[in-house]
Amino acid sequence: MSIVPHTVLRPFGVNPTSRYLRRHASLGLRASSVDATNRKDDLETESSKKKRTKKSPLEALHDDGFGSVTMKDYLEAARPMMPKDDAGPGPPRWFCPLECGRPVVDKAPLLIFLSGVDGVGMELILHHKSLGKVFEVCCFHIPVNDRTPFEATSSAKSPLQAILPLLEVVPSNLPVTYPDLLRYLIGNPLNVAMVSIQNNHSPQETLQEFSESLTSMLPFVSCLFISQELAHVIRMDTLVWKLKLLKSGVAYANSQLHAVQAEVLLLASGNENLPPSGEADRLFKTLKKCKVRYFRNRGDKLLMEDGFNLLTVIKGASMYRRSRQRDPVTDYLPPTLSEFKRTYGEDFKLFHQLLSPVMLSTMKDGEIVRGLSGVPDKGPVLFVGYHQLLAMEMFALFEGFLGEKKTVIRTAAHQVFFVGNFEILRQELSLFDAFSMYGAVPVSPINTYKSFERNEFVLLYPGGVREALHRKGEGYQLFWPDQPEFVRMAARFGVTIVPFGCVGEDDFLQIVLDYHDLKNIPYIKDQIKSFNEDLTGIRDTVKGEEGNQTLHMPVVLPKVPGRMYFLFGKPIEMKGMDNVLTDRKEANQVYLQIKSEVENVMSYLKRKREQDPYRSITRRTLYRATRGPSAEVPTFDP
């Protein structure tokens, strides 16, 4: 396990003055391969910033530019930033990469990047375009000949620290060419060469593109580390000096860790060229507000490897914010096109093929059609429905609305997806992170209120955990408490309510041990109790089974996959229904109407799925085999 120690993220809403950053960015330092004559037109002055009109929010599935830059671009951009031997020593300086452009969101927070051993400051180049849309990106450059001491953050357990005495006796004018040292400085060439290679290529095309990418890097790597012209870039004396800086800062950093109150996102990679695996655990336990993401199959240069998107990790960990306190509604950044392709083109591709979700909706005249044309195009909209076992319908919903309507659904989710107590359970981008990325917010009246204010699409499950973790024989049974408050809030904002249902859980999973079985097993009973004691009660005032929101993991067995079906009922317009705000009886009547609609929808789906000729996975597989893997599989006639 190794830590990526040179990345500092400051998403705290504190913006440096443009004058200060731009002044330091223009001290003869070239921030990209773009010609310097264009810099004045791209740099933003203080006065022009004040005149700038308000930016519109990012749209779902926007192009973030991720994957368009390769390691070759890094080497090209880094070379002109490396001075000759006779150049002055510095001082170290800040610069804003031109590739980042201007943020498209209001009050974009500051992201400070501290370079690695090479000191160039361009190691974030693969992420400049994506990060630049939502951050003010500022990078730190250390000239090769600079010898300014500073108190640094690192670890004394790096393998390079162990050979420091040996390096000190090596002639100072020698370039760094030892293979292990090069791999430490530039990472694994095989990993970085995979950057920007498209995943939808055939094996032959992938091999050819990879070969071309690796071949194009070789001249730059050779020039960067071996030629007489640029051998001074990572000279032995420079490497020794920087290793001493890291070593000198260890004691100071360790003595201050306990005092750190800021939120910290710790990224750890799997190779052991940097601190060992125990270092991540030590920092996690020492830092008070620390989140950890482990990338066990990646190398030291995590930021420059294929498929690693730093912005995706920040969003998934719920670390992006534009003020002192994060607002899960207003600080949310919608998924990008690259994130959507990665999630549903790779991570959930098998899930989609197994379930083959069918989306149906109801037009205003009552006609049921395939697709989501019956669902309103503009918010605010409130979807109210039934939670399937283990909430397995959620990602099919996200995909359906993003794919057809480019719309994010803000799901009111249980707090367990957001609290920090369970960070130790997470690795890389887990389901926890995916929920946050695709719009989930902690369930609360204030978050629903804010979402309606912003005309968003909101998803609510009145049955909550009790439905998602139902017992044996309780499939498709609603556990809604007698609390019609969401109806009143919908009437206040003129929200359109869309009742919906989903069936198919009984076609995939069989419950073997439910809550009643588990609570009779002594050890497991204690574990369930201990786990739930750390969570704030959501429905403590609700009596009966509707208020039983105990979290546990039922034991299930997979079945031969059937198919999943969604039906969105006829929209209910709440605009103008002011009587619901003051009359509890009227509100309860609308509440019962919605509940009845959900039950009717599920009855309809259970009946009609018997007429689906492609309900069997065998039939669906044969259909795709003859018409292509992306072909839409037919279903019953609505």
pLDDT score of 152: 67
Domain residues for the domain of 594 are: 337-506+561-627
Answer yes or no: are the C-beta atoms of 235 and 175 closer than 8 Å: yes
Segment 190-217 shows an average pLDDT of: 54
Residue 422 has what pLDDT?
56
Residue 393 has pLDDT above 60, yes or no: yes
Amino acid at 556: V
Mean pLDDT over each residue of the chain, to the nearest integer:
78
pLDDT at 637 over 90: yes
Q: Is residue 35 part of a domain?
A: no
Q: What is the pLDDT of residue 37?
A: 32
What are residue 171's phi and psi, to 5 degrees?
-50, 135
Beta-bridge partners for 140: 94
In angstroms, rounded to a whole number, what is the distance separating the alpha carbons of residues 302 and 1? Answer: 12
Amino acid at 85: D
Sign for the CA dihedral angle at 442, 448, 449, 453 comes to: positive
pLDDT at 394 over 90: yes
User: Do 300 and 360 reside in the same domain of the chain?
Assistant: no
Nearest-angstrom CA–CA distance, 537 and 528:
14
Region 177-197: mean pLDDT is 51
> Using CA of residue 288, residue 291, residue 297, residue 299, what is the dihedral sign?
negative
Residues 196 and 69 sit within 8 Å (Cβ to Cβ): yes
Q: pLDDT: is 110 or 213 the higher one?
A: 110
Helix residue ranges, H only, 133-235 = 159-162, 164-168, 179-186, 189-192, 203-225
Provide the pLDDT for residue 588.
95
62 band by pLDDT with thresholds 50, 70 and 90: very high
52 occurs within a structural domain: no
Q: Which of 10-19, 146-155, 395-404, 590-599 has the lowest mean pLDDT?
A: 10-19
Contact residues for 584 (Cβ-Cβ < 8 A; gap 6+): 484
Average pLDDT over residues 396-425: 84
Residue 617 lies inside a defined structural domain of this protein = yes
Which of 260, 281, 316 represents a domain boundary (last residue)? 316
The pLDDT of residue 408 is above 50: yes
Of all residues in the chain, the percent with pLDDT exceeding 70 is: 70
Is residue 230 a part of any domain in this protein? yes
Q: What is the helix (H) or strand (E) element at residue 72, kind and residue range?
A: helix 71-78
pLDDT score for 120: 83
Whether residue 53 lies inside any domain: the answer is no
Residue 516 falls inside a structural domain: no
pLDDT of residue 269: 80
Residues 193 and 283 in one domain: yes
265 vs 502, higher pLDDT: 502
Mean pLDDT of the 309-321 span? 93
- The confidence score (pLDDT) of residue 507 equals 93
Average pLDDT over residues 464-468: 92
The C-alpha atoms of residue 125 and residue 117 are separated, in whole angstroms, by 16
Residue 26 has pLDDT above 80, yes or no: no
pLDDT at 194 > cutoff 80? no
Residue pair 181/164 in contact (Cβ under 8 Å)? The answer is no
Average pLDDT over residues 170-193: 50
Q: Are residues 425 and 365 in the same domain?
A: yes
- Residue found under tokens 């279903």: 635
Kindly tell me if the per-residue pLDDT of 292 is higher than 90: no
2 by DSSP, 3-state: which? strand
Are the C-beta atoms of residues 129 and 101 closer than 8 Å to each other? Answer: yes
Backbone angles phi, psi at 283, to 5 degrees: -65, -40
46, part of any domain: no
Residue 294 has pLDDT above 60, yes or no: yes
Using DSSP bridges, classify how beta strands 110-113 and 93-95 pair: parallel, antiparallel or unpaired: unpaired
How do 136-141 and 93-95 pair as beta strands? antiparallel
Pick the range with the lowest mean pLDDT from 429-433, 473-477, 586-590.
429-433
Q: Does residue 167 have a pLDDT over 90?
A: no
Same domain, yes or no: 141 and 282 = yes
Pairing of strands 264-269, 290-295: parallel
Encode 545-560: b = buried (16+ Cβ within 10 Å), e = exposed: ebbebeebebebeeee
Q: Which of 258-267, 591-600, 626-635 has the highest mean pLDDT?
A: 591-600
Residue 462: strand, helix, or coil: coil
The pLDDT value recorded for residue 540 is 63
Let me know whether 409 and 282 are in one domain: no
Question: Phi-psi category of 405—alpha, beta or left, where left has phi over 0 and alpha has psi -120 to 50?
Answer: alpha
Tell me the Ramachandran region of residue 209: left when phi exceeds 0, alpha when psi lies from -120 to 50, beta otherwise.
Answer: alpha
Calculate the CA dihedral of residues 624, 626, 630, 635 and round it to 10 degrees. Answer: -50
- Quick one: 419 and 369 in the same domain? yes
Q: State the amino acid at position 328 in one-letter form.
A: P
Tens of pLDDT along 87-100?
Answer: 556 678 899 999 99
Q: Is the peptide bond before 380 cis (omega within 30 degrees of 0)?
A: yes
112 and 159 housed in the same domain: yes
Instruction: Read off the tokens for 134.
Output: 């939502």
**pLDDT beyond 80 at 224:** no
Q: What integer is the mean pLDDT of 158-186?
A: 49
Tens digits of residue pLDDT in 323-351: 989 999 999 999 999 999 999 988 889 98
Question: If DSSP codes are grouped into helix, strand and coil, which group holds residue 493?
Answer: helix
The whole-number average pLDDT for the span 407-435 is 76
For residue 34, the model assigns a pLDDT of 32
Residues 276-303 have a mean pLDDT of 80
Indicate the Cα dihedral angle 223, 225, 231, 236, nearest 10°: 180
Distance between terminal CA atoms of the chain?
A: 54
Same domain, 270 and 174: yes
The answer to whether the beta carbons of residues 136 and 109 sit under 8 Å apart is yes
Q: What is the mean pLDDT of residues 621-635?
A: 93
Which pLDDT score is estimated for 212?
A: 58
For residue 368, what is the domain's CATH number? Answer: 3.40.1130
Return the pLDDT at 6.
34
Q: Are 220 and 344 found together in one domain?
A: no
| Residue with more model confidence, 464 or 425 | 464
The pLDDT of residue 60: 95
Share of residues in the chain with pLDDT > 90 (%) = 47
Both 296 and 369 in one domain: the answer is: no
3-class SS letters over 574-591: CCCCCHHHHCHHHHHHHH
Q: What is the pLDDT of residues 127-152, one digit of tens each?
A: 999 999 999 999 988 887 777 775 46
Same domain, yes or no: 221 and 88:
yes
pLDDT tens track for 558-594: 999 999 999 999 999 999 999 999 999 999 999 999 9
Q: What torsion do the CA atoms of 175, 88, 165, 282 make, to the nearest 10 degrees? A: -100
Please give the pLDDT value at position 133.
Answer: 95
Q: How far, rounded to the nearest angstrom, does the alpha carbon of residue 267 sit from its chain's CA centroid?
A: 13
* Rounded distance between C-alpha atoms, residue 534 and residue 528, angstroms: 11
- 162 and 82 belong to one structural domain: yes
Is 401 inside any structural domain? yes
Structurally, the chain folds into a number of domains equal to: 2
* Cα–Cα nearest to 512, from 572, 472, 454, 551: 472
Distance in angstroms (rounded) separating the CA atoms of residues 142 and 119: 5
